[in-house]
Chains A and B, each alone.
Chain A
Amino acid sequence: MKTVRLLFVISCVLFARGSNAQPRYPEAMVGISDAYYAAFDDDNPYATTEMLNHIRREKFDLVLPRVMREREVDMWIHVIRPWTWSGNEYRQLEGLDLNYSSIDSTDPLRYEFGSNAAVLIFTDRGGDRIERVVFEGEVEDAGAFDIVRGQSRFINQENYEIMDYVKENPDAVPDTEIGYRFMGLGDFVAERDPQKIAVNYAEELSLAEGSETYTLALTDGISYADHLQLTKALGDKYAKRMVSAEYMILDYLTRSVMAEIVVFGGSGLPRRARTFDDIVPGETVLSDVGGWFCTREAGHDEEAMFDIPLQRGDMFQEGQIPYYLLREGETEPPPEVQRSWDEVVRVRELLSKYIKPGRTGGETLEIVIRKLEEAGFAYIDHDAFDPSLDPEKTQVHLDLHAVGKGVLAPRISPMGAKWHWDMKIPRFLTLGVEYMIHMPVPEWGKGRHIYYCSLHERAVVTERGLEFVKPPVSGIRSVR
């Protein structure tokens, strides 16, 4: 699995370098290609600043009240720790026409709140909406908030403000400079008198395992030092009311508004199919074209195949698209190869039917396995051909997971942390439809099979099932 993903990334990089034809658009925010791939990446011209701001506001209006009330949270305090973002990186990126230039943070909600350093407080004060306050810090989209108090005067500790403040207020000096960001927070909270205060620390979830983004694991946000300062600022009465916001944060991240579906639908641009006219059978090796072999033997070791020349009759996959090298005299792939594509589509249709909101990833996995087996497939929990299984049955491995938001959960897969499977699938989850088929071809010899990996095809989960927002791959392309 990991090999497959690594190969995919490598092939994307190689291809991107070699391609001049496609326009490149300003990256929605620093590092977003890694963090939010498949939605807000730099190939998506619809991830504009206006759209990203709009999504933020729609989520505040439509999602925030629901997730807070479902979790019975009266106040959500989210601390994005300062001083963790890289000023050097920021300076390097300045002037690159990025949609957002200042959100190079590791906080999983840095885009949702539009900040790389802030103390944000959301309070349910009744009515249809949640009060949104930037207690301390700066945000990209101030209009999305009701109150923006701005950055603490003391955040830049190189200057004279702290020195002057200490002289003027000797009895009201925090123990540490970190505490300046929380000054006045106790009164602010007391005025709203919340019964339950969710704060962005983790108690149960291995959040770092929640992301497939390589460069940006999810974090639990608040630092230990900030937690101490927050506790102090809240005072005993309110500090006791703090709970972890971890589940609510996942709820918030994984529930999409329609504008997110639009962005997730992405460019709508044609898939970058290649012709591979320059392949010379017997000479061109796999690493020249990228991707991986689809025609395989039992015990296939992809890493050993990079320098193996492609031959007529081989099938390989580059990106999401499978290619078949026609043999002399062939005008289309032979029946067994075409049958493998029929199997891909059958699995896709089955998944479309049985993945629905409301069930957990694990429950859905059980259902899908059962339906696959009823339909004559063999389920495998590793992405490797199992030679001990019925040679008449196509083997299917599953790893469908959330994409587009930097979060893997909920996940319909045997892999990952348990909480990935335990999470309920929300309506409008943006799902990467990732599954692998290994179809034995006994007439080619024992253990020989055709492999295809459906890689992050973009779908949305609705009550009607799985709905694709961008056309999935439609078939095997022939290379002459």
Chain B
Amino acid sequence: MSKLRNLPALLCVLILPQGLSSQLPEPSASRELMKLIRNEKFEVILPQVMRDNQIDMWIHMKGGEDPLDFELGEVPGAYIFTDRGGDRIERAVFGGRGDEELYDIFGAKTEIAQFVSERDPNRIALNYSQENPGFNTISDTDRTQLLEALGEAYRERVVPADRLIADFLAGRGMAEIALYGRLLMTSSEIIDGEFDKIVPGVTTLKDLSGNVFVRDLDGNEENNTDYVIQPGDLIGLLEGANVMDFSEHNGGIAYVLREGETGLPPEIQSIWEHALKTREIFRQNISAGRTGAETLETLIGKLEEAGYVYIDEDRYDPEADPVKTQVHIDFHGLGRIVSQEEAPRISPSGWGRDLNIPLYHTFALEYMIHMPVPAWGKGKHLYICLHDGAMVTERGLEFPAPPAQEIRVIR
């Protein structure tokens, strides 16, 4: 269960001011950088995803707001991409305007039928989906008119573009990865700044920006409420950084020392060690090419081999072995606002579970540890949520920016 599934928290993460007391500069998106990222997606991602999905032509009918506004441009029109062999995909816009440096052909919508028949594609992806409403973006009118214009021969070749679009959104060029890493660094800095503000016994969760939560030993959660932070609290804080369509959020954990404590008590140290041990298990077992669901199965097996209990909800299971630490996983997409949910996902839930994890997939290594402390009573447990920006390369899992290094101590 993603810690950011609820809308208010998401809005907090996306809208709150960035760069408070910052050493790092506020993230910026120059026109040149955005153009570079857009161009790289056309140059290096588009050919790959069209071929992976065995699509000869992709017709994207844009009306209003669309998940591909950044990639294609915001102007309504028919965007048609054709694989004519070679290294690149032909890019055309009909009935709309586009960047002349990015698109090869411009025309009127009335020319579409002839354009398609000249290219004679075998499989035509169109922007509708029977599985994911987020990608069902073509209007009824546009769909009817387009299919009519294409005629029977080509109409039968039309397939949903949802998976192609998901793959296209999930693909990352190096400039985008570098930006992702910079945003991760920025959000880590913001999280540190928020922890700096905590005065035990005074500061409430809602005084802090981001998604801030504390769970008691029975698993009851206070989340962005007026709960006053107390000594002994283990605080989770998720905060993001974004620039235009690019967004990520990161997590931090802090512990408030009790009177007389000078460092983390053994139980808190122990749950952190579980966090590191499980991080290493994930690191060793995530690679490109498998689906999210397949990867999850692998990870569950490895966790259990290592003596953990996997739980498919972010809730302590009182029926599980009381000495085993429980782990929940939700490794969801990260880096683009629109592709956090509709992207490959290593999680017990979500449409993206069945998508292949592409090379250079950027995602949140989000997992929750519920560690029983039998000495404190039956069912009593500690809880932390790790949320680090990660990605997949040929070498496996990599962290483009430092993941959480410790449980921060607050005196």
Residues of A at the B interface (CB closer than 8 Å) are 23, 25, 45-46, 48, 50-51, 53-54, 58, 61-62, 66, 128, 257-259, 261-271, 352-353, 427, 459-460, 462, 464-465, 467-472, 474
Asked if B44 contacts A464 (CB within 8 A), the reply is yes
User: How many residues of chain B are within 8 Å of chain A by beta carbon?
Assistant: 38
Q: When A and B form their complex, which 10 residue pairs have the shortest distance between CB atoms, in order from nearest? A: A265-B178, A262-B181, A471-B32, A467-B174, A54-B402, A464-B44, A258-B400, A258-B398, A471-B36, A460-B174
Residues of B383-410 whose CB lies within 8 A of A: 391, 393-396, 398-402, 405
Q: A268-B179, A427-B394 are in contact. Are A471 and B30 (CB under 8 A)?
A: yes
Chain A residues positioned under 8 Å from B180 (CB to CB): 262
List 15 A–B pairs whose Cβ atoms lie within 8 Å, in order of A's numbering.
Answer: A25-B23, A45-B24, A51-B185, A258-B177, A259-B181, A259-B401, A262-B177, A270-B30, A352-B43, A462-B44, A467-B173, A468-B174, A470-B36, A470-B178, A471-B36
A468 x B175 contact (CB < 8 A)? yes
Q: Please state if A54 and B40 are interface contacts (CB–CB under 8 Å).
A: no
Whose C-beta in chain A lies nearest to the C-beta of B30? A270
| Most chain A beta carbons < 10 A, residue from B40, B87, B174, B185 | B174
Chain B residues with Cβ under 8 A from A459's Cβ? 174
Q: B184: shortest Cβ distance to chain A, in Å?
A: 8
User: Closest CB of chain A to B289's CB: distance in Å?
Assistant: 14
Using an 8 Å CB-CB cutoff, how does the interface string of B11-48 with A read, 1 for contact, 0 for none? Answer: 00000000000011101101011011000100110001
Q: Chain B nearest CB: distance from A355 CB in Å?
A: 13
CB-nearest residue of chain B to A353 = B87
Q: Decide if B23 touches A258 in the complex (CB within 8 Å).
A: no
Contact B23 A262 (CB under 8 A): no
CA distance A128 to B397 in the complex (A): 13
Among B27, B181, B396, residue most surrounded by chain A Cβ atoms (within 10 Å): B181
Whether A262 and B401, one on each chain, are in contact in the complex, defined by CB atoms closer than 8 angstroms, is: yes
- Other than the given A66-B395, A266-B178, A470-B175, 11 more pairs (CB < 8 A) read A45-B23, A45-B24, A259-B398, A261-B177, A264-B178, A265-B179, A268-B28, A268-B178, A270-B30, A462-B174, A468-B175
Contacts of B177 on A, CB cut-off 8 Å?
258, 261-262, 265, 469
Chain A residues positioned under 8 Å from B400 (CB to CB): 258-259, 261-262
Provide the residues of chain A in CB contact with B23, threshold 8 Å.
Answer: 25, 45, 48
Contacts of A462 in B (CB 8 A): 44, 174
The chain B residues found within 8 Å of chain A, CB to CB, are: 23-25, 27-28, 30, 32-33, 35-36, 40, 43-44, 48, 87, 173-175, 177-182, 185, 283-284, 391, 393-396, 398-402, 405
A residues less than 8 Å from B185 (CB atoms): 46, 48, 51, 262
Instruction: Determine whether the beta carbon of B391 is less than 8 Å from that of A258.
Output: yes
Known: A460-B174, A467-B40, A469-B174. A268 touches B24 (CB 8 A): no
Closest A residue to B392 by CB, please name it.
A258
Do B178 and A469 have beta carbons less than 8 Å apart?
Answer: yes
Complex contacts, B391 vs chain A, CB 8 Å: 258
Interface centre among B25, B87, B396 (most CB of A within 10 A): B25
The answer to whether B402 and A261 have CB atoms under 8 Å apart is no
Q: Hey, which chain A residues are within 8 Å of B40, CB to CB?
A: 467-468
Taking CB atoms, residues of chain B closer than 8 Å to A267 are 25
Q: Which residues of B contact A474 (CB under 8 A)?
A: 32, 35
Contact: A269 with B181, CB < 8 Å? no
A99 to chain B, nearest CB (A): 11
From residue A336, how far is it (CB to closest CB) to chain B in Å?
21
Which B residues lie within 8 Å of A468 (CB)?
36, 40, 174-175
Residue from B28, B44, B182 in contact with A467 in the complex, judged by beta carbons closer than 8 Å: B44
Assuming A128-B284, A460-B174, is B398 touching A58 (CB within 8 A)?
yes
Contact check, B174 vs A269: say whether CB atoms are below 8 A apart: no
B402–A257 touching, CB < 8 Å: no
Question: Hey, which chain B residues are within 8 Å of A471, CB to CB?
Answer: 30, 32-33, 35-36, 175
Q: Name the CB-closest residue of B to A427.
A: B394
Collect the chain B residues with CB atoms within 8 Å of residue A23's CB: 25
- Tell me the complex Cα distance, A459–B400, Å: 17
CB-based contact A261/B25 at 8 Å: no
CB distance from A143 to the nearest CB of B (A): 9
Contacts of A427 in B (CB 8 A): 394
Knowing A269-B28, A471-B30, say if A258 contacts B35 (CB, 8 Å).
no
Q: Are A268 and B87 in contact (CB under 8 A)?
A: no
B residues less than 8 Å from A257 (CB atoms)? 398
The distance from the CB of B404 to the nearest CB of chain A, in whole angstroms, is 11
Docked-complex contact B399 and A46, CB < 8 angstroms: no
- Min C-beta distance of A36 to chain B, whole Å: 16
Given A62-B395, A270-B30, A471-B35, also A46-B182 (CB < 8 A)? yes
B104 to chain A, nearest CB (A): 14
Report Cα–Cα, A267/B174, bound state, in Å: 14
CB of B350, distance to nearest CB on chain A (Å): 25
Residue of B nearest to A345 (CB): B101
Please measure, in the bound complex, the distance between the C-alpha atom of A314 and the C-alpha atom of B44, giving whole angstroms: 37
Known contacts A259-B399, A465-B44: A265-B30 contact under CB 8 Å:
no
User: Which residues in A have their C-beta under 8 angstroms from that of B401?
Assistant: 51, 54, 259, 262
Chain A residues whose C-beta falls within 8 Å of the C-beta of B27 in the assembled complex: 268
The residues of A that contact B25 with a CB separation of less than 8 Å are 23, 45, 267, 269
Closest to B397 in A: A62
| Residue from the set B178, B283, B284, B399 with the largest chain A CB neighbour count within 10 Å | B178
Bound-complex Cα distance A333 to B180 (A): 37
